[in-house]
Amino acid sequence: MAKQPPLAGIRVCDFTWVWAGPYCTLQLAHLGAEVIRIETKTRPCVTRQLPPWPDGQFVGLNRSGYFNQYNQGKKSLALNFKHPEAKEIARKLISKSDILINNFAAGIIEKMGFGYEEAKKLRRDIIMITLSGYGDTGPWQDYVAYGPAQVPLSGLSSLTGYKDFPPMHAGFSYADPNAGVHGAFALLTALYHRAKTGEGQYIDMSQWECAMDLLAEGILEYTMNGREPVRNGNRDPQMAPHGNFKCIDWPEKIMDMTIDRWVSIVCADDAEWGRLANAMGQPELANDPRFQTLAARKQNEDQLEAIVQKWTSARTVEDVIAILQPANVAVGAVADNRYLSTDANLTARNFWVYKDHPEVGKRQHAGIPWRMSGTPTEVRAAAPTLGQHTDEVLTSILGYSADDVASLRDLGALD
């Protein structure tokens, strides 16, 4: 018999916003926790105000695809903290929560009156985490961190780039989701510890430090050999070919721009190179002295890539994959969002989630990247509209009566 999801009965008081924090609490919601986002109308989550919108323009706080992706399965409680009653509601919620989480700039959560010392008084065994850019200690602790800037700060940018060109980005605010998912791991570890001992705790997270796990190879190059790694595009020191190769463009233009399409192809050893040469209809290349060994392929990599490129450039992404995967060559589409939306694997595995949302209807959203055989997990609902669960949280969790709620609303304490 299918059981409850792992975190059934675990309540999360969620003060996070933008991306890192919401990505953290999304993992907890995926695992079945009741995540209650505290929101305000005066400072609504940044992502509620960012595109994409179904109308192509900003016409309301509940219509952003960005917000609606990372807040699936959560509840929204809208408060106005100018009123002391709102603070009292938040305190009551903390006293009934297992986890308290925020990603405000340093000192803000304390100023609001919900720092760890206060929270512990409200709930003896609370587990609290602050997902900050720089961490809670150290000379740069008060510095401001924005998603895009954390990638270069981490060190990933100086390692990423085309040969002989300046450092490049990761293409997205990579340190944010990375911090979020590491934060979720830490919270689960702390929950496990609490289940064994009854003891809560505080967790200090620096998004910067979390991101440095991802570049251990670069750091060790420096600590072992005193040398900065050289940026080398998509190439790999031990595999060739190893890169992205151009195929036929999408047939239609988008906003007057041609959108190019690519595939990734990797040959991990000589045998795989032989399979690729055969599949390209050029079996003689397998034993060509220019390409026969890894050392030779690395030496003649420009020529090697030109040959593969010439072959792919006359084909569609779909054709290249249909030829190379049966030949057991590592190939994948350089998938854009359009390609992903109909990707055969993600579709067949029911990765995509379509939950009804009162303002945007059923939209395609990314779901949960794991399946659990014993305690199935699922996205339970679309992202909440702002304040959608205010009444429910106040009455069913915090014990307010319908009359109490009405007078709190009249007072302006509820947003």
Residues assigned a catalytic role: 176
Q: Does 233 bind other proteins (CB under 8 A)?
A: yes
- Residue from 59, 192, 287, 358 in contact with other proteins (CB under 8 A): 192
Tell me the closest approach of the beta carbon of residue 315 to other proteins, in angstroms: 16
Instruction: Candidates 42, 111, 139, 289: give the one binding other proteins (CB under 8 A).
Output: 139
Residue 409's identity, in one-letter code, is R
Give whichever of 372 and 381 is closer to other proteins, judged by the CB atom: 372
Q: How far apart are CA 133 and CA 179, in angstroms?
A: 9
In 3D, which of 98, 237, 213, 96 has the Cα closest to residue 156? Answer: 213
| Interface with other proteins (CB under 8 A), residue from 43, 164, 198, 224 | 224
Q: Interface with other proteins by CB under 8 A: which range of 79-87, 186-194, 286-294, 404-412?
A: 186-194
Please name every residue paired with 101 in a beta bridge, in sequence order, or none if there are none: 14, 129
Exposed, middle or buried by CB within 10 Å (0-12, 13-18, 19+), for 258?
Answer: exposed
Q: Which of residues 362-401 bind other proteins (CB under 8 A)?
A: 363-375, 377
Selected from 178, 312, 385, 388, the binder of other proteins by CB under 8 A is: 178
CA 289 to CA 303: how far, in whole Å?
13
Choices 96-104, 295-303, 344-352, 403-411 (CB under 8 A): range interacting with other proteins:
344-352
The per-residue DSSP string of 133-179 comes to SS-SSSTTTT----HHHHHHHHTHHHH-S-TTS-----SS-THHHHH
Site membership for other proteins, residue 189 (CB under 8 A): yes
Measured distance between the N- and C-terminal CA atoms of the chain, rounded to whole angstroms:
42
- Sole window of 85-93, 236-244, 389-397, 403-411 interacting with other proteins (rule: CB under 8 A): 236-244
- Range 308-337, binding other proteins (CB under 8 A): 325, 328-337
Stretch that binds other proteins, among 131-139, 277-285, 288-296, 393-401 (CB under 8 A): 131-139
Q: Residue 313: CB partners within 8 Å, gap ≥ 6?
A: 245, 246, 247, 248
229 binding other proteins? (CB under 8 A): yes
Q: Among 40, 49, 95, 201, which residue interacts with other proteins (rule: CB under 8 A)?
A: 201
Q: What single string gives the DSSP state of each residue in 13-34?
A: EE---TTHHHHHHHHHHHTT-E
Residue (44 or 218) nearer to other proteins, CB: 218
Interface residue with other proteins, options 167, 278, 294, 404 (CB under 8 A): 167
| Helix, strand or coil, per DSSP, at residue 331 | strand
* Residue 121 contacts other proteins per CB under 8 A: no
Who contacts 235 (Cβ-Cβ below 8 Å, separation ≥6)? 163, 242, 243, 301
222 binds other proteins (CB under 8 A): yes
Which residues between 238 and 277 bind other proteins (CB under 8 A)? Answer: 238-239, 242-246, 250, 254-255, 257, 259-260, 262-266, 268, 272
Supply the minimum distance, in Å, between the C-beta of residue 134 and other proteins.
Answer: 7
353 is an interface residue for other proteins by CB under 8 A:
no
Residues 48-87 touching other proteins, rule: CB under 8 A, are 50-54, 56, 64-66, 68-69
Per the CB < 8 A criterion, the answer to whether 64 and 41 are in contact is no
Q: Phi then psi for 5, rounded to 5 degrees?
A: -65, 160
What is the closest distance, in whole angstroms, from the C-beta atom of residue 264 to other proteins in the complex? 4
| Count of residues near other proteins by CB under 8 A | 161
Among 12, 13, 29, 31, binds other proteins (CB under 8 A): 31
Q: Which CB sits closer to other proteins, 88 or 233?
A: 233
Smallest distance, Å, CB 268 to other proteins? Answer: 6
CA atoms of 97 and 191, how far apart (whole Å): 12
Binds other proteins by CB under 8 A, chosen from 106, 108, 112, 212: 212
Distance CA 246, CA 261 (A): 6
Please, which residue, 121 or 162, has the CB nearer to other proteins? 162
CA 173, 101, 147: angle at the middle one, nearest 5?
15
Of 208, 206, 203, 209, nearest in space to 186 by CA: 203
Q: Which stretch binds other proteins (CB under 8 A): 37-45, 80-88, 203-211, 386-394?
A: 203-211
CA dihedral 39, 43, 48, 51 (to 10 degrees): -170
User: How many Cβ atoms from other residues are within 10 Å of residue 90's Cβ?
Assistant: 21
Q: Is 294 one of the binding residues for other proteins (CB under 8 A)?
A: no
* Closer of 172 and 392 to other proteins (Cβ): 172
